[in-house]
């Protein structure tokens, strides 16, 4: 068997469903990535700007790199999250970074120990400055969808991608980039509630619900809060509507199946859990990324978007007890969105006590909304 055949077979044994190979040459979409940055579409993801000149250069991650082994595995599951609040499917299981990095390290050991190659390897799973979708595209695993995600005909786009950089020539056949099968379909573009796609294949991350609820560390822009809907963490809308995902089977990988304790994490529970309890609950979960303040901010927006005034007492108590002024501001917004005399009363009472100017501005704006809905 060829080296690549043996590596592919072992990667399948490790649970990777797709495997491809590419030379560790400069990646083809580096200039397009930098043009995207020049438009400011990365939003709060400032680290992308700091690494703009090396993300298309695999040799910066492993000196002497000659081959890229690209892998993909599905994380598609049925959405079993509690209400109110939805969690993107990728985050309902265990942290994929650790799972995939461990398996890629094992694949590197196989190359050295079983195949006897004197080679150094380095695993990359979303934590190193590398254009990972470009690697998968070059390696022939899938094509770029109009929602900017990598698509495959049989597994759809609910995919975790990973790479193994190898400083040896594995004599892989010249890869052929995958044909695009999106055709005239615009379902993903049309479904986005925040209109985050400025054109096919171009995303303004500043408007993306996933970015707003995960990477954003500040307030969610007021004009986008209603559009966030019930998303507590991340967003799957542009994938849910994709025809290729309707045909894709659910994953059988245990680590990516929904954890009951994560799926039960509703918005109201986020607001009532202590920092310690929340930290314990989110052990080995990607949901830790926005930290407690980010999750509480998201939870307030979700409750405000329910239109259900039974959440007013909870929000009113949290408005008085919440230590973070940004979160208080979003709780105030939620009360204003729900409206009614009880919400207005709580906001008025807090306005007399609030010392943070931004939180106070949120309270005043929310009070106007609540009063308009009371009359």
Residues marked as catalytic? 126
Helix 3-13 × helix 96-109 angle, to 10°: 140
Residues in the chain: 375
Give dist(CA 66, CA 22) in Å, integer. 9
Euclidean distance between CA atoms 297 and 302, whole angstroms: 9
What the block records as the tokens of 157 is: 């786009």
* Residues 220/228, Cβ–Cβ less than 8 Å: yes
CA distance 248 to 242: 10
Q: How far apart are CA 15 and CA 233, in angstroms?
A: 26
As given in the structure block, the two tokens for residue 142 are 């899938």
Backbone angles phi, psi at 166, to 5 degrees: -130, 135
3-state secondary structure 229-293: CCEEECCCHHHHCCHHHHHCCCCCCHHHCCCHHHHCCCHHHHHHCCHHHHHHHCCCCHHHCCHHH
| Distance between start and end Cα atoms, the chain | 78
The pairing of strands 197-199 and 18-23 is unpaired
């Amino acid at each position: 068997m060829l080296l690549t055949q043996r590596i592919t077979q072992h990667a399948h044994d490790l649970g990777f469903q797709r495997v491809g190979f590419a030379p560790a040459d400069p990646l083809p979409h580096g200039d397009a990535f930098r043009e995207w940055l020049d438009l400011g579409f990365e939003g709060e993801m400032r680290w992308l700007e700091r690494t703009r000149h090396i993300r298309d250069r695999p040799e910066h991650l492993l000196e002497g790199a000659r081959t890229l082994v690209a892998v993909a595995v599905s994380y598609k599951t049925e959405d079993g999250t509690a209400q109110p609040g939805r969690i993107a499917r990728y985050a309902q299981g265990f942290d994929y970074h650790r799972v995939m990095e461990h398996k890629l390290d094992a694949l590197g050991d196989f190359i050295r120990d079983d195949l006897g190659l004197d080679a150094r390897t380095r695993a990359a799973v979303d934590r190193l400055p590398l254009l990972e979708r470009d690697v998968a595209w070059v390696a022939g695993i899938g094509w770029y969808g109009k929602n900017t995600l990598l698509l495959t005909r049989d597994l759809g786009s609910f995919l975790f991608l990973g790479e193994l950089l190898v400083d040896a020539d594995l004599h892989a056949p010249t890869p052929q980039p995958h044909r695009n099968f999106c055709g005239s379909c615009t379902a993903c573009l049309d479904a986005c509630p925040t209109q985050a796609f400025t054109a096919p294949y171009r995303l303004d991350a500043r408007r993306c619900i996933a970015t707003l609820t995960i990477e954003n560390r500040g307030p969610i822009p007021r004009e986008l809060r209603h559009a966030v809907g019930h998303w507590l963490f991340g967003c799957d809308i542009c994938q849910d509507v994709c025809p290729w995902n309707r045909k894709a089977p659910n994953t059988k990988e245990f680590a990516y199946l929904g954890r009951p304790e994560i799926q039960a994490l509703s918005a109201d529970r986020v607001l009532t859990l202590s920092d310690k309890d929340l930290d314990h609950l989110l052990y080995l979960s990607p949901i830790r990324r926005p930290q407690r303040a980010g999750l509480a901010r998201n939870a307030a927006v979700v409750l405000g978007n329910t239109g259900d005034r039974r959440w007013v007492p909870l929000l009113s108590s949290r408005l008085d007890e919440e230590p973070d002024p940004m979160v208080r501001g979003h709780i105030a917004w939620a009360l204003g969105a729900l409206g009614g005399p009880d919400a207005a009363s709580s906001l008025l009472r807090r306005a007399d006590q609030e010392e943070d100017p931004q939180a106070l501005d949120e309270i005043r704006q929310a009070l106007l909304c609540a009063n308009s809905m009371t009359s």
